Amino acid sequence: MRTREIIICIVLILISIIRYLFFLPAPLPYGAFVNKSVTFVGVVSEYPDIRLNNQRITITPKNQESNLLAILPKDHYIFYGDEVRVKGILTTPENFITNTGKEFNYERYLHNQDIYFIVDKGDVEILSQHNGSWLLEKLYRIKEHFMKNIGSVISSPNSDLANGLILGARGGFDTDTKNEFISTGTIHIIALSGYNVTIVAESIMKILGIFFSLAVSLWIGICIVILFVLMAGASATAIRAGVMAVIALVARMTGRTYMAGRALVIAGLLMIAYDPRVITDISFQLSFLATIGILFVTPKVIKWVRWVPTKIGLRDVVATTISATIMVLPLLLYSTGVFSIVSLPANVLILPLIPLTMLASFMTGLFGFFSYTIALPFGFIAHLMLSYILGVIHFFASLPFASVTIKQFPLFGTIILYILIFYWVFKKKK
């Protein structure tokens, strides 16, 4: 790094330390009311998280910076910006054991979103509307209608997969389906991560490169990333994914890998300076590592897959998938304990189809704004490809050796693996 870049990094680190010590939102002063019936008034500050059996609403009480999480029945229609009165029993988040035997730090996960208290099975009353950001409300309305357009043409669970691919929404899947995604190492396709967005945008750019110049393809790819971020409601997760994806796209298409590596470090430090708690966020860690894999491991891995055809960028898709998998595997073993044996063949079989599936699903949702009839043929094409993807995932998940659970993968082992990986990637040739 140049001296100027080093200074920028030092300044960002100092800012993150100062923000962590003095400027993070204080928890709500509701500790004395835990396990008691409470009533509070606040504004819905995020897009509702709709699940199979309930909906989870993030609410910011009046004159407060921190939030509450209200778990409510699905039959209440609540939207971003609604001012609501919620009554229920106040609780605090508790960690829980996942089906792999690992403890999930649910408390820290919610604290990173400024949520310190939960109201479960609460009763809600809408007092007024349009109390949030005008821009976010419009974006969330578009997102809501877009998802409804897809659902009106494509049946579940295919429509749930389409919404997951395009918008990162995965609340509609049942537990068994989610476990299939995890055991096959394909959960990333329904999470709006930098890895997911980069794979999709890069694959589309390879197709566009057949007809357009490199510069045009690059700009179209960046526009696709921006579209993803906007359609996801411009949340912190979406913005982070967009930043990671743009850096990887520019590097891969211009060949300036190491300059993109510097930009990646600065982008990561900017995110940490804005909210230091993001460094403990597993999705941030995985996005960061996966992007490193795409930038620095792919040039080495591409030599291993010369036997893969180059048509529509298939060889690059396979190499990028392997590279990202190598970089995130140690962290996944430590955090989840799941080692997917079928991850590589499952991803190779579905990732080349992801861009076309997303395109058909996107056109279904887009034309649904104008005409159900026009959206129908695109929905039919999308339905076939979505059925294929779910079929591949279900097949590999049903194999008795699909994944291995390692309940106690040591932190020391994780560190050693990353030391070996970075040594292999960055060692100088003789």
**Bond prior to 157 in cis (omega within 30° of 0):** yes
Average pLDDT value for the chain: 83
Q: Within a 13 Å sphere around the CA of 26, how many CA atoms are in the beta-carbon half? A: 7
8 vs 148: CA distance, rounded Å: 45
Sequence spans of domains, the chain: 31-132, 147-426
SS3 content of the chain, % helix, strand, coil (to 5): 60, 15, 25
Of 294, 291, 338, 286, nearest in space to 318 by CA: 294
Distances (CA, A) of 92 to 34, 53, 136, 290: 7, 21, 28, 33
The whole-number pLDDT of residue 204 equals 66
83 vs 85: CA distance, rounded Å: 7
Whether residue 75 has pLDDT greater than 70: yes
Q: What is the pLDDT of residues 335-381, one digit of tens each?
A: 888 888 888 888 888 877 877 888 889 889 989 999 999 999 999 99
The whole-number pLDDT of residue 164 equals 84
- H or E element: which one contains 350? helix 343-350
The whole-number pLDDT of residue 1 equals 65
The whole-number pLDDT of residue 70 equals 93
188 vs 175: CA distance, rounded Å: 16
Note the pTM of the prediction, 2 decimals: 0.79
Choose the weakest-confidence range: 82-86, 116-120, 313-317, 367-371: 313-317
425 vs 430: CA distance, rounded Å: 14
Which comes out higher in pLDDT, residue 257 or 91?
91
Q: What is the pLDDT of residues 196-231, one digit of tens each?
A: 566 666 666 776 777 888 778 778 878 877 776 776
3-state secondary structure of 338: strand
> In sequence order, which residues have a C-beta less than 8 Å from that of residue 208 and are 6 or more positions away?
216, 217, 220, 221
322 vs 294: CA distance, rounded Å: 9
The whole-number pLDDT of residue 237 equals 61
Q: What is the pLDDT of residues 257-272, one digit of tens each?
A: 657 677 778 888 888 8
Of 243, 239, 219, nearest in space to 229 by CA: 239
The whole-number pLDDT of residue 104 equals 83
The whole-number pLDDT of residue 193 equals 61
Predicted confidence band of residue 313 (pLDDT cuts 50, 70, 90): low
**Dihedral sign of CA atoms 409, 410, 413, 414 in order:** positive
Predicted confidence band of residue 78 (pLDDT cuts 50, 70, 90): very high
**DSSP track, 353-390:** GHHHHHHHHHHHHHHTTT-HHHHHHHHHHHHHHHHHHH
Section 277-304 average pLDDT: 84
State which fold the 31-132 domain adopts.
OB fold (Dihydrolipoamide Acetyltransferase, E2P) (2.40.50)
Query: Over the range 228-237, which residues count as b (16 or more CB within 10 Å of their CB) and which as e?
Result: bbebbbbbbb
Note whether 340 and 185 are within 8 A (CB).
yes
Cβ neighbours around 417 below 10 Å, total: 17
Q: Is 116 exposed, middle or buried (0-12, 13-18, 19+ CB in 10 A)?
A: buried
Q: With pLDDT > 90 as the criterion, what percentage of the chain qualifies?
A: 23
Taking CA 340 as the corner, what is the angle to CA 339 and CA 346, rounded to the nearest 5 degrees?
160
Distances (CA, A) of 293 to 198, 239, 244, 260, 368: 12, 20, 12, 12, 38
387 vs 157: CA distance, rounded Å: 9
The whole-number pLDDT of residue 197 equals 66
Structure tokens at 173: 């899947």
3-state secondary structure of 75: coil
Whether residue 190 has pLDDT greater than 90: no
User: Could you tell me the end-to-end alpha-carbon distance of the chain, in angstroms, rounded to an integer?
Assistant: 23
